[in-house]
């Protein structure tokens, strides 16, 4: 029987959803223990892990730090106890997704606008666990880099990005209003010719006055879960 484009798309979506459930069970079993402080990143795969935490025996002892309103709602629906960032200096594990992952396991993140809080949580985490669809694993980046910018500096930063060879574009809402992050900042999605040293490029961008955070993530995870179209998943450890 012929399956049209929409049927094929729905089948792939269901397969990835099943892969997300499967990898979430493995991630919870391997990385979650009672009395931990856990960072909650973003993305559909990370959300699947949060939903699976609802079944964890001892979830009432966990303390979770969400990085976005979307993941906060997922955590609340899973009955997880949420805490603020006050007085938290160390996080046992963070579960997160990625928009793209290159051959050296650097990441582009920030498609959902939570790059600042995600990077803060990554910096405090003992372990970083990344889960993403197989299509997001690439040799080199093809997406623009989200750059969170203070509104006062938006025009100055745009010019400096252009001087560096970038092609920045203000992220907009459907109503033609600028997208504003939960921190009150704007995002410039910027196309670059990526250098061989992504870490250096991340630092150079971050050093522009007015740039709050950059969607290049060069602190690698301990484990990467690669969800596949056949509902299975691959585990890449200590890449």
The catalytic residue positions are 118
If you ran DSSP here, which 8-state letter would residue 84 be given?
A: -
Where are the strands (E) in 97-166, listed by range? 100-101, 107-108, 125-133, 145-149
Q: Does residue 40 contact residue 94 with C-beta atoms inside 8 Å? A: yes
Strand 91-96 relative to strand 37-40, pairing: parallel
Sign of CA pseudo-dihedral 35, 112, 100, 195 = negative
218: closest CA among 204, 208, 228? 204
Question: 């992220």: which residue's tokens?
Answer: 171
Q: Does residue 99 contact residue 136 with C-beta atoms inside 8 Å? A: yes
Residues 6+ apart with CB under 8 A from 144: 167, 169, 189, 190, 191, 192
Q: Hey, what are 26's tokens?
A: 């493995």
């Amino acid at each position: 029987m012929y399956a049209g484009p929409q049927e094929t798309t729905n089948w792939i979506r269901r397969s990835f959803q099943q892969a997300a459930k499967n990898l979430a069970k493995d991630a919870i079993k391997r990385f979650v223990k009672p009395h931990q402080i856990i960072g909650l990143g973003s993305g559909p795969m990370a959300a699947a892990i949060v939903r699976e935490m609802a079944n964890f025996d001892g979830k009432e002892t966990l303390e979770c730090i969400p990085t976005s309103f979307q993941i906060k709602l997922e955590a609340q629906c899973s009955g997880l106890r949420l805490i603020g960032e006050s007085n938290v200096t160390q996080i046992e594990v963070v579960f997160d997704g990625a928009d793209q992952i290159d051959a050296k396991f650097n990441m582009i993140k920030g498609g959902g606008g939570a790059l600042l809080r995600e990077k803060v949580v990554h910096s405090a985490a003992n372990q970083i666990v990344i889960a993403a669809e197989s299509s997001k694993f690439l040799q080199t980046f093809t997406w623009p880099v989200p750059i969170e910018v203070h509104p006062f500096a938006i025009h100055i930063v745009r010019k400096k990005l252009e001087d560096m060879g970038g092609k920045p574009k203000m992220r907009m809402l459907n109503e033609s209003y600028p997208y504003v992050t939960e921190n009150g900042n704007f995002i410039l999605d910027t196309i670059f010719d990526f250098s061989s040293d992504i870490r250096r490029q991340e630092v150079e961008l971050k050093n522009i006055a007015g740039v709050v955070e950059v969607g290049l993530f060069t602190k690698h995870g301990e484990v990467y879960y690669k969800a596949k179209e056949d509902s299975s998943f691959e585990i890449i450890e200590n890449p």
